[in-house]
């Protein structure tokens, strides 16, 4: 059974710092991995999607890496801003009859001005 774990559960850093969020998964048989952002009371915004054949994806100040063999992904946020404060969710896509997202519990990020 695929399980996704995110560490740390919460992180608070001063504005301007670079930071890394971690995600690990137990079964390397994934089809892709997505990073999402969730603001309080809101839905999920897709940030980056890494296909299983890829090693990383970049979008603006965000860079996500994927190491399938070790079951790990990281989300790197450069030059953090208060507007980056949100919960960041990692999800792996597995195919069990249908395409399903298996989510981690999330990392609650606070950027202090």
Q: Which residues bind another protein (CB under 8 A)?
A: 4, 31-32, 34, 36, 41-46, 49, 51-52, 89, 91, 93, 96-106
Task: Please say which residue, 110 or 112, places its beta carbon nearer to another protein.
Answer: 110
Please identify, using beta-carbon distances, which residue of 13 and 93 lies nearer to another protein. 93
Which CB sits closer to another protein, 46 or 58?
46
DSSP 16: T
DSSP assignment of 39-105 equals -TTS-EEEEEEEETT-SEEEETTEEEEEETTTTEEEEEE-S--GGG-EEEEEEEEEEESEEEEEE--
Q: At closest approach, how far in Å is the CB of 109 from another protein?
A: 16
């Amino acid at each position: 059974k695929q399980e996704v774990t995110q560490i740390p559960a919460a992180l608070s850093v001063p504005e301007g710092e670079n930071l890394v969020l971690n995600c690990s998964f137990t079964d390397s048989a994934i089809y892709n991995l997505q990073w999402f952002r969730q603001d309080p009371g809101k839905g999920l915004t897709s940030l980056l999607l890494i296909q299983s054949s890829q090693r990383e994806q970049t979008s603006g100040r965000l860079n996500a890496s994927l190491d399938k063999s070790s079951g790990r992904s990281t989300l790197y946020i450069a030059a953090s801003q208060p507007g980056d404060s949100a919960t960041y969710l990692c999800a792996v896509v597995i195919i069990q009859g249908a395409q399903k997202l298996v989510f981690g519990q999330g990392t609650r990020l606070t950027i202090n001005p």
